[in-house]
Chain A
C-alpha cells in the first residue's frame, strides 16, 4: 500500500508545469533574473554594434551618418603588414602560453591535493592565489624593479654572487623577454587556475583511493590512475575554453611588460587594436579585428569540442 502511494507521488511530480515550478521556486527565478539580464546586456545587446566593422564609423556622426563600406575594412586589415605581424605574434605567444600555462595549474592542484598538513595547505593556496588579484600595472612595475638589465634586483644579486658578469636582458632582448613574459603569466595565473581542479578532485570518491591503497598503490600511482582520470573531463573542458582564447591577447599584460626593445614580439592583436584602432579613432578597424578574433575563437572552440567528442570525451557543448 505504501509502495503504491509513493508511486503516485512520483507520477504527480513528473507532471510539474512551468507555472507550478515558478510558483514553487519563484525566489530562485528572481535571483536568476539578474545574471540573465547581465548576460543579455553585455553579451548580446552590444551585437548590433558589430555593424561598425562594416562602416566607416565616425563616432560623432553615429550609425546613420557613417558610410557603409561593406568588407573594405577587412580587406584593408588583411593587407596591413602590422596586422600580419600582430596576428603571428598573438598566435605564437598564445600557443606558447597554452603549452606552458595550461599544465601548471593541473600539476599544482595535484601537489596541493597531496599536502597532508591542512594549515600549510591553506596558507600555500592563499599565497598561490594572491598574484591573480594583482593588477598588471603592479606586476609590470615589480617586474621592472626585479628584472631591469643592470639595475634590476635579480641581476644585481646574480652579479654580486659572481654567477654572471653582465645583466641578463630579461626585459630588453626579444627572446629573453618572451620567456620572462610567459613565466610571469604562469606565476600570475597558476594558483587561481587550481581552484576548478581542486573542486573536481574533491568529487572523486574516497573509496577509490582506499581500494587502491589496499591493492598496494602508492601516491604516485593513485595520482596517475585515480586523480588524473577523475578530473579528465574538467581538463578537457578547460582546454577547449582555453583554445578559444588562442586568438585573444591581454593589452594590460602586454603594456605593463612591454618596451620599445621588444616591440617585435610585444606587438600583438590587443596592441594593434588599441594603437591602430582605438588610439587612431578607427573604431571600424578595431571592431573588425575584434570580430575576426571572436569568430576564429568560436571556430576553434567548436572544432576542439568536436575532436574531444570523437575521442570519447564529453566535450563542452
Chain B
C-alpha cells in the first residue's frame, strides 16, 4: 500500500516537474513583472488612444502623459559579446534600469531591451520577424538594411505630423542636419534618422602604429604612399618583426573597403553602382588595386600567412603583445587595447596615422589617402510592422526623451564622480577604467543606447569633443593627433577627394536577392584566393573570379542600381 502511494506520488511529482519545465521553456526571463508583449499589444490596442493619450495636442515632452494601460516598448541594443560590451548584460544593467526608472515608470511604459548580435544583425532581425517578435523599433546604421526590411514587410510607415508633435526636439535635430528629407522608403515615410556629427570624416576611427618601430627603421614620419610603405615594411621584417601587419579573416559588411584605391574625382556612375561598402566591389578597378596590394603584402610575408584562419581578436592580441605594427579601432575614453598594450610594452611608443589634408596619389598602386566619410546620417530608426499604435507612440516618446540634452548627457557621460569628472575648463572627462563599477557604461560610453539620437557624443565643439573622447589614463596623449587627422580629412573632403556613399530611394531587388551571399559567402572565398595566389597569376585569376562574381548576382546588383540612378531615385555625387 505504502509502495503504491509512493509510486503515485513519484509519478505525479515527475510529471508535474516535466510540465513545469516545459512551461518554463516558453517563458522569457524578465526582471519586471509585466504582461507578455503579445498580451500588452492586445490590451493597449483595445485601450487605444482615447484615455491613454500621450501628447498629441501639446508638443514635445511637456505634453507627455502616462498611458492608461501599461505599454511594452522593445528597443534593440547591440550585443557585441562579453569582451567589448562594457557592461556585462546589455539587456539588463544599471543603465537599462535607469531608463526604466526615469522614462518608463513615468509614462507607464515597460522598456525592454532586445539584444541584437552585432555581427549578425540581419539574421537576428530575420529570426525575430519569423517569430512575429520584432522589437518596436528597428534600428541600424546601414541604410541598405532598412531598405531591405521595408521591402520584406518588417516595417510600418508612420505619421510624420504625429512624430513632429510627439518628438519636436528629435525632429529639429533632423532638420538642422538636413535629414528631414531622408524619411522615405518606396515613397512613404518609414524612417527617422539620428545625426552623425563630424560625418565628413571618419572622426573616431583611427589607426595606431608603432612609432618606435618606425624610427628603428630609419623613418622620421609615417609614409604617405604605398610605395613608401613597402620600403618601411621591408625594413620592419629586416629588423626582426615577422609578419608585421598581422591579419585576420574578413567577415561581413565593411570588409575590404576600396576608397583609398579609387580614381578621384570619382566617376558618378561607378560611384552609384559599385561605390558602397556593403557589397564588396569585386570586378571593379578599385577592388583590383586593393586586392593586388593585399596579394603583395601576403606574398612578401608582411601579412600573417595564416590570416584566413584568424579572428580579429588575434590581431588585437598581436598588437597588445608587441607583434603587430598597426591596429585600427574606434576612439573612446576607455580603450582596453591601448591600456593593455602599454602594460605589456612599457617602453612602447605609439603614433596615430594622420591625414595630411593634401590628396596624395600613388601611381604605382593606384592608391591614395582617401577614406569613407560616414555622412550626416547616424542610425536609421523605423517601427515594426506589428507594433500597435500605442507602442509606436511610446517609441516616439522614447526618442524625444532620449533627445533631451539632460537625458542624452547622462546616458553618454554617466554620473559625475563615477563615470566622469569635470576638468578645469568645466568640460566632462570620462573615467578611463570603469571595470567593476555597478554604473559601468556599455560599449563606447553607452553608444548602443543613445545611437538612436546621435552616432557620436558631442559638446558642440570639435576641440572639446576630441579632448573628451581621447583615451584616458595612458602614458601618451593622442588628443592633438586625433584633431590633426580630423582637420586633414575635413580638408580632403572639402576638396572633393572623399565622397559619401550613394543612397537609394527604395530597396534594389537584386541587393536583397544576392547581397548577403555575395558579401558573406562568395567574396571571402574569392578574395582569399586572390590574396594568396602567386603574383604572376593575379591578373588572370582576378578576371576569372570577377566574371563568376558578376554571374553570381553582382551584375544584377549593378544593373538595378544603374536603373535607380537613371530614374533619379538616388542621391548624387557631391
Alpha-carbon separation in the docked complex, A275 to B522 (Å): 10
Alpha-carbon separation in the docked complex, A278 to B123 (Å): 7
Alpha-carbon separation in the docked complex, A253 to B513 (Å): 27
Cβ of B446 to closest chain A Cβ, rounded Å? 30
Alpha-carbon separation in the docked complex, A259 to B527 (Å): 13
Cβ of A285 to closest chain B Cβ, rounded Å? 11
Alpha-carbon separation in the docked complex, A61 to B385 (Å): 9
Binding-face segment, B129-137, B481-489, B564-572: B129-137
Could you say which of B12, B132, B517 contacts A62, with CB atoms under 8 Å apart?
A: B132
Q: Provided the pairs A30-B11, A59-B126 are in contact, do residues A279 and B309 lie with their beta carbons within 8 angstroms?
A: no
Interface string of A126-156 (1 = CB under 8 A from B): 0000000000000000001000111100000
Cβ of B393 to closest chain A Cβ, rounded Å? 21
Q: Is the CB of A65 within 8 A of B12?
A: no
Closest to A38 in B: B22
Alpha-carbon separation in the docked complex, A13 to B7 (Å): 23
Alpha-carbon separation in the docked complex, A37 to B306 (Å): 50
Q: Is the CB of A275 within 8 A of B520?
A: yes
Q: Is the CB of A278 within 8 A of B126?
A: yes
Could you say which of A61, A65, A260, A279 contacts B122, with CB atoms under 8 Å apart?
A: A279
Q: Does B153 contact A (CB under 8 A)?
A: yes
Could you say which of A37, A149, A260 contacts B249, with CB atoms under 8 Å apart?
A: A260
Q: Provided the pairs A34-B22, A260-B524, A263-B525 are in contact, do residues A280 and B517 lie with their beta carbons within 8 angstroms?
A: yes
Contacts of A21 in B (CB 8 A): none
Alpha-carbon separation in the docked complex, A61 to B22 (Å): 29
Q: Which of B19, B306, B513 has most A Cβ within 10 Å?
A: B306
Cβ of A301 to closest chain B Cβ, rounded Å? 29
Closest to B8 in A: A27
In B293-309, which residues have CB < 8 Å from any A CB?
305-306, 308-309
Q: Does A11 contact B (CB under 8 A)?
A: no
Cβ of B213 to closest chain A Cβ, rounded Å? 22
Closest to B7 in A: A27
Contacts of B122 in A (CB 8 A): 279, 281
Contacts of A144 in B (CB 8 A): 309
Q: Does B516 contact A (CB under 8 A)?
A: yes
Q: Does B229 contact A (CB under 8 A)?
A: no
Q: Is the CB of A260 within 8 A of B525?
A: yes
Q: Is the CB of A279 within 8 A of B123?
A: yes
Q: Is the CB of A280 within 8 A of B308?
A: no
Could you say which of B130, B152, B308, B517 contacts A261, with CB atoms under 8 Å apart?
A: B308
Alpha-carbon separation in the docked complex, A278 to B308 (Å): 24
Q: Does B521 contact A (CB under 8 A)?
A: yes
Cβ of B302 to closest chain A Cβ, rounded Å? 16
Alpha-carbon separation in the docked complex, A279 to B251 (Å): 14
Could you say which of B19, B129, B520, B525 contacts A34, with CB atoms under 8 Å apart?
A: B19
Alpha-carbon separation in the docked complex, A148 to B304 (Å): 12
Could you say which of B22, B305, B513 contacts A150, with CB atoms under 8 Å apart?
A: B305
Q: Is the CB of B153 within 8 A of A27?
A: no
Cβ of A244 to closest chain B Cβ, rounded Å? 27
Interface string of A277-294 (1 = CB under 8 A from B): 011110100000000000
Interface string of B244-281 (1 = CB under 8 A from A): 00000100000000000000000000000000000000
Interface string of B116-132 (1 = CB under 8 A from A): 00000011001001101
The main secondary structure of chain A at its interface with chain B is helix
Q: Number of B residues contacting the other chain (C-beta, 8 Å)?
A: 40
Contacts of A158 in B (CB 8 A): none
Cβ of A283 to closest chain B Cβ, rounded Å? 7
Q: Does A243 contact B (CB under 8 A)?
A: no
In A252-282, which residues have CB < 8 Å from any B CB?
259-261, 263, 275-276, 278-281
Q: Does B438 contact A (CB under 8 A)?
A: no
Q: Is the CB of A59 within 8 A of B11?
A: no
Contacts of B181 in A (CB 8 A): none
Alpha-carbon separation in the docked complex, A171 to B309 (Å): 9
Contacts of A62 in B (CB 8 A): 132
In B142-184, which residues have CB < 8 Å from any A CB?
148, 152-154
Alpha-carbon separation in the docked complex, A148 to B306 (Å): 8
Q: Provided the pairs A144-B309, A275-B521 are in contact, do residues A61 and B19 lie with their beta carbons within 8 angstroms?
A: no
Cβ of B334 to closest chain A Cβ, rounded Å? 28
Q: Is the CB of A280 within 8 A of B516?
A: yes
In B1-52, which residues have CB < 8 Å from any A CB?
7-8, 10-12, 14-15, 18-19, 22
Contacts of B152 in A (CB 8 A): 58-60, 281
Q: Does A31 contact B (CB under 8 A)?
A: yes
Q: Does B349 contact A (CB under 8 A)?
A: no
Contacts of A280 in B (CB 8 A): 513, 515-517
Contacts of B7 in A (CB 8 A): 27
Q: Does A172 contact B (CB under 8 A)?
A: yes
Closest to A147 in B: B309
Q: Does B56 contact A (CB under 8 A)?
A: no
Q: Does B528 contact A (CB under 8 A)?
A: yes
Could you say which of A33, A60, A151 contacts B153, with CB atoms under 8 Å apart?
A: A60
Cβ of A215 to closest chain B Cβ, rounded Å? 47
Q: Is the CB of B520 within 8 A of A60?
A: no
Alpha-carbon separation in the docked complex, A151 to B318 (Å): 14
Alpha-carbon separation in the docked complex, A34 to B249 (Å): 46
Contacts of B386 in A (CB 8 A): 60
Contacts of A281 in B (CB 8 A): 122, 126, 148, 152, 512, 516
**Residue contacts A-B, CB under 8 angstroms, 8 given:** A30-B12, A31-B11, A34-B18, A58-B152, A60-B153, A172-B308, A261-B532, A275-B520
Given contacts A172-B308, A260-B525, 11 further A-B contacts (CB under 8 A): A28-B11, A30-B15, A34-B18, A58-B153, A60-B134, A65-B153, A82-B517, A148-B309, A151-B306, A260-B529, A281-B512
Binding site for A on B (CB under 8 A): 7-8, 10-12, 14-15, 18-19, 22, 122-123, 126, 129-130, 132, 134, 148, 152-154, 249, 305-306, 308-309, 385-386, 512-513, 515-517, 520-521, 524-525, 528-529, 532
The 9 nearest A-B residue pairs measured at CB: A27-B11, A60-B153, A59-B129, A59-B130, A260-B528, A34-B18, A280-B516, A263-B525, A60-B154
